[in-house]
Structure 1
Amino acid sequence: MKVLILADVGQGGNNWYHIGDEAMFLRNYNVIKKHYSNSQITLLSRSKSRQGLDIKEEINDLFPRGCVGRLILFISLCVQFLSYHTLHLFLKSKVGEMAKLINRHDLLLISGGGNLNSLFPAYLYNRTIILLLAKMLDKPVIATGQTIGPISNLRDSLLIKIILRHIDRFVLRDRKFSISTIPKSNQYRKRISFSVDDAYFLEYMSDLDISGVVTMGTFNIGISLRDWDSDDLYAKVLLALNHLAKNSGKKLKIYLIPHIFDKDNRCDLEKMRNIFVGKIDCEIVPITYQIISESPSGRPEEVVHALTGLMDIVISSRYHGIIFALSQNIPVVGVYENDYYRAKTEGAFDWINSDTIKKLSIDLNRFSGNGLSIVFLGALKNIDLLKKELVRSNKELLVHKDDIPNLLKALCFWSKK
């Protein structure tokens, strides 16, 4: 069986890398290879990747990068969609190249992410174009691990409706925010199901040995904060961490774990270093590009996932920093500052069947530094209870481990090899 996976993966300039998108793709790749070992996979990616997997071919983005170019393509394709037999008019264009690529495969799988919204319209156009092409060619399409919204205009709302009307299966990873953006009509909701994030049950490609990176015998705190524009947000976290270092009664060690990074250690890590190193009374270890990317024992997303699992507690504004912690029974304080990240953060916590855990989803606009200090210290003092709650809840979530393979099996054309 031939599978085309569309995933927002690949290296950007200066070896720029996004851990969360890679982890979602890797889990979907592993699922397909585990259940359908003879399948042939083609990866349609953002840019050149460092996969090193059993992938037949990798195709980098064929379409224009900007919103305007993709919008023109979308309008043109809508005209074609009204008349299937005129598709040959596009065969020498970029759309034609994409159509040929899709036509060589039996299934299109759109790997998860939070980019179907008005904040990143180019991604929305891209996925709509590819979906319409696949349906013109009568190919089944599944989208997994998705978040929808925010949607701020009628054009983008129309695109979401087009996707939901024509896709075969659409899996939402949050159960409240995304569904509130979708019309209540059954024609838009009948193909929707809900499951945890694609990376929640991430399995490693090989055994990892990163024990030399993390010190045992200290209370280890993982910090994964995105590159905020506001220094006030960092100041609140800094104040709370200083309070924790002085009042916890434990020997703390802080690990700065980036989820977007490059070979010069900019992006997430540069800002966290500037804010925290030398300003908290405990040892701070930046997890650099060299540690993440040059580990001989694992892929970058596996290394970050494994490092997160060695923490005693995590503080994260990164969605997959939260997912990596929750899924490994590591208590996490999730912090956010706007509606987009609120939806992602609360969507992750919503899967945990524990009010105690859910209270650790924090709106930074509603907390002072002192208020955040109380949250951090309370989480540390109740660490054993929080871990027990996560162990119990994650046992309940095991029912979702086979959601993606079950969706694949539900397609009548698919036969297990």
Structure 2
Amino acid sequence: MPQRIVVIGDIGVVDGMIHIGDEAMFEAAVDALRARGIVDVTGVSTTPEESAERYAISAVRTIGWPGSRADREDRLSRVVAAVSSPAALDPDDPAHAVIAAIRDSDGLAIAGGGNMSTLWPHHIFERAALGRIAVALDKPVVISGQTIGPELDDADSALVRDLLASAEVVGLREPSSFALCERWGLTNLTQTIDDASFLVSAEVPASSTYCLVSVASHVGDSSRPEVVAALAVLLDSVAEKTGLEIVFFAHFGPLDGPSRGDAVMHDAVIAAMSSPARIVPPVDSTTGASLARGAAMVVSSRYHPVVFAVPAGVPTIGIPVDDYTGVKLRGALGNFGQDGLLPVDELLAGNGAALVARLWADRDVIRSGAATLAPTARAASSAWWDRIAATFGAAS
């Protein structure tokens, strides 16, 4: 009998703005399930009509978590109560459709993400609610490719810990998240990689002529004008040292129209550079993955350009601006044997040119190292999704 699975990722194009990495993890999960015979997927999205069309799935709207923490706690209680007593919520509450989708499903999959953090409490509550609904309806829960924390207050820690404990299996995409969950006493854990690591698996070109750049407007506690100036110097050094064309791709940006999101930062950096540069507008996740995988070098403060690039052996510089981005970028690089971390304070200190020179000199070693690691990582990722499919009763 075919399985019907509800999948939540942080998806939905809002006001024309797409987040490539968030969409990529959801897309990778849907692809992996379909490859194992699970073709009936209902996504949970902020813009369900758009997501349904983008992925050829059914979709329902997210439950939503406005207000204070007390408001969210109260709403969580009422949402869970509505599983057996619909009158606990207003008749037009979007949670009813989510409950109905899970009731009619064979299980819940929480696709990869880095939003189980006190930085984004509404994402924690959304996932905690879906997990509790599934448990109340006796549906299996699987959680894949997560970063946990590192910033978690006591109340959010309790919510996340309870959610993870309710799952059949939990995949964690970097060692620090795994270690944190082990300290919580959880035993259903598997060390994985990011779900979208092999979203695109085409052969890597033997030679490439561009360096792909994706930088976010978020710069932590640093001065944005100073970061813009330092990035311009860094990228001019890339162009001078390697002869590569500098190509910008916004991982959070507009599908059309004026610059917003990362594109604003890109415009500022380009204006400060001496070298010429080109912009490729965001379209979809596979375009972003293909661009990163096909680059000769990647420079990024965004996470997913790194995720896409390192399995292909692309020399990559990750620029963390705080503890959260540091955990993610260090994990993504380390999973495939790279260490090109350039924290924002080191960028501002002018240490980037030396790192560019080292990575470029080691590019053949980096590529051969990835060629050794990637097949094992790909096989482990495939086995992980076989395990998830089996949890839902599908043949792997």
Q: Do they superpose with TM above 0.5?
A: yes
> For the Cα contact (< 8 Å) 2:208–2:296, is it kept in 1?
no
Q: Which runs of 5+ in 1 are unaligned?
A: 294-299
Structure 1 position 20, deviation (Å) = 0.5
Pairs within 5 Å for 1:142-153: 142-153=142-153
Report the alpha carbon displacement of residue 362 of structure 1 after superposing the two structures with TM: 2.1
What is the identity, as a one-letter code, of the residue corresponding to 1:398?
R
Q: How many residues align?
A: 383
Q: Which AA in structure 1 matches 2:298? A: V
Q: Quote the offset at 1:416 in angstroms.
A: 2.7
The answer to whether structure 1 residue 388 and structure 2 residue 385 are counterparts is no
Instruction: Give me the whole-angstrom Cα distance separating, in 2, the residues matched to 1:243 and 1:384.
Output: 20
Separation in 2 of the partners of 1:203 and 1:384? 21
For the pair 1:228 / 2:226, whether they are aligned, the reply is: no
**CA spacing shift, 1:111–1:218, aligned 2, 3 Å:** closer
Q: What is the CA-CA distance between 1:255 and the residue it aligns to? A: 0.1
Unaligned runs of 5+ in 2: none
| Cα shift at 1:134 | 0.8
How big is each residue's C-alpha offset from its partner over 1:302-321, in whole Å with a ceiling of 9 and x where there is no partner? Answer: 11111222211000111101
| Stretch of structure 1 that moved more, 165-174 or 134-143 | 165-174
Q: Where does residue 181 of structure 1 map in the other structure?
A: 180
- Alpha-carbon deviation of 1:88? 4.7
1:90 and 1:96 in contact (8 A); partners too: no
Identity of aligned residues (%): 20
Q: Give the CA deviation at 1:71.
A: 2.9
Q: 1:103 to 1:395 in 2, by over 3 A?
A: same
Computed over aligned residues only, the root mean square deviation of the Cα atoms, in angstroms, reads: 2.7
In structure 2, relative to structure 1, the CA distance for the partners of 1:320 and 1:51 (3 Å cut) is farther
Counterpart residue type for residue 179 of structure 1: F
Deviations 1:345-379 (A, max 9, x none): 01112212x3xx22x12222245443111111222
1:13-28 equivalences under 5 Å are 13=15, 15-28=16-29
* Aligned residues of 2:45 and 2:62 also touching (Cα < 8 A): yes
Which residue of 74, 84, 88 maps to 1:90?
Answer: 88
In the alignment, is the contact (CA less than 8 A) between 2:60 and 2:98 conserved in 1? no
CA deviations over 1:172-211 (Å, ceiling 9, x no partner) = 11112x234336353xx1111111100012148xx99xx9
In structure 1, give the amino acid aligned to 2:183: K
| Cα separation, partners in 2 of 1:10 and 1:54, compared to 1, 3 Å | closer
Structure 2 residue 367 is the aligned partner of structure 1 residue 363? no
Deviation at 1:325, TM superposition (A): 0.6
Once residues 362 and 368 of structure 1 are traced to their aligned partners in structure 2, the CA distance between those partners, rounded to angstroms, is 10
Find the counterpart in structure 1 of residue 107 from structure 2: 107
Equivalent in the alignment of 2:249: 257
The residue aligned with 2:13 is: 11
Residues 328-347 of structure 1: CA deviation (Å, up to 9, x unaligned): 22111111121000000011
Residue 144 of structure 1 and its aligned partner are, at CA, apart by 0.8
1:4-403 → structure 2 map (5 Å cutoff): 4-13=6-15, 15-36=16-37, 39-48=39-48, 49-50=50-51, 52=53, 55-66=56-67, 68=69, 69-76=71-78, 80=81, 87-90=85-88, 93=91, 94=93, 95-176=95-176, 178-182=177-181, 184-186=183-185, 189-203=186-200, 219-229=209-219, 230-246=224-240, 248=241, 250-262=242-254, 263=256, 264-277=258-271, 279-281=273-275, 283-288=276-281, 292-293=282-283, 300-352=284-336, 354=337, 357-358=338-339, 360-403=340-383
| Compared CA separation, residues 372 and 55, structure 1 to 2 (3 A) | same
CA distance in 2, matches of 1:149, 1:64: 19
Match of 1:297 in 2: none
State the one-letter code of the partner of 2:72: R
Distance 1:67 1:325 in 2: 39
Answer yes or no: is the 8 Å Cα contact 1:151–1:157 preserved in 2. Answer: no
Deviation of 1:280 (Å) = 2.1
* Alignment partner, residue 296 of structure 1: none
- 1: CA distance between counterparts of 2:213 and 2:231? 10
Contact 2:43 2:52 in 1 (8 A): no
Secondary structure at the counterpart of residue 308 of structure 2: helix
Deviates most, 121-130 or 63-72: 63-72
Q: Contact 1:42–1:55 at 8 Å: present in 2 too?
A: no
Which residue of structure 2 aligns with residue 2 of structure 1? Answer: 4
What CA deviation, in whole Å up to 9, does each residue of 1:377-407 have, x standing for no partner? 2222322222122222223323323133222
Bigger mean CA offset, 250-259 vs 57-66: 57-66
Opposite residue 248 of structure 2, the aligned amino acid is L
Distance 1:218 1:161 in 2: 44
Q: 1:156 to 1:326 in 2, by over 3 A?
A: same
Q: Which amino acid aligns with 2:230?
A: K
Q: Distance in 1 between matches of 2:105 and 2:234?
A: 52
Residues 404 and 393 of structure 1: CA distance in aligned 2, closer, same or farther (over 3 Å): closer
CA contact (8 A) 1:67 1:121 kept: no
Secondary structure of the structure 1 residue equivalent to 2:13: coil
In structure 1, distance between residues paired with 2:302 and 2:184: 33
> Match of 2:393?
414
Aligned-residue offset at 1:235: 2.3
